[in-house]
């Protein structure tokens, strides 16, 4: 198993709720957006895309924020963040700006 998400803390309090999971997932998403902005011709699309998905994630955090989540979700967020951190091409980052929140939402049992 990948070290990036094999973490010893089985009861990480920051990842114990839906809000915590979404908050923990946010930095990697912001890094993807920053990388994607390197494609100047797509700058406004990138910012609109990131805003649209951030709004969707915020909606879920508002609706289900205090809901407790299991260890599987904590592992999923770590794996997802590690995968996003490995993206080094801005074109792929644009694609992952859409993919990343979809994966997170599926892990939360939501439809994208």
Task: List contacts with another protein (CB under 8 A).
Answer: 1-2, 4-5, 42, 44-45, 48-49, 52-53, 56, 70, 72-73, 75-76, 78-80, 82-83, 86-87, 92, 94-96, 98-99, 102-103, 106-107, 109, 111-112
With respect to another protein, which residue has the nearer C-beta, 34 or 112? Answer: 112
Cβ distance 81 to 26 under 8 Å?
Answer: no
Q: What is the DSSP string of 42-76?
A: GHHHHHHHHHHHHHHHHHHHHHHTT-B--HHHHHH
**Token pair in block for residue 98:** 């859409």
> Shortest Cβ distance from residue 86 to another protein (Å)?
4
From 105, 76, 103, 95, select the one nearest 35 (Cα to Cα): 95
DSSP one-letter code for 8:
S
- Indicate the residue among 19 and 69 with the shorter CB distance to another protein: 69
Nearest distance from C-beta of residue 45 to another protein, angstroms: 6
Nearer to another protein, 38 or 75 (CB): 75
């Amino acid at each position: 198993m990948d070290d990036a998400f094999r973490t010893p803390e089985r009861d990480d309090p920051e990842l114990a709720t839906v809000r915590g999971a979404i908050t923990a997932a946010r930095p990697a998403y912001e890094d993807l957006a920053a990388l994607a902005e390197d494609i100047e011709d797509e700058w406004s699309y990138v910012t609109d895309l990131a805003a649209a998905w951030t709004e969707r994630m915020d909606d879920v955090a508002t609706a289900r924020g205090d809901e407790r989540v299991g260890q599987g979700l904590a592992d999923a967020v770590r794996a997802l963040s590690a995968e996003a951190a490995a993206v080094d091409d801005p074109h792929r980052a644009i694609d992952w700006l859409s993919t990343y929140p979809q994966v997170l939402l599926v892990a939360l049992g939501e439809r994208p």
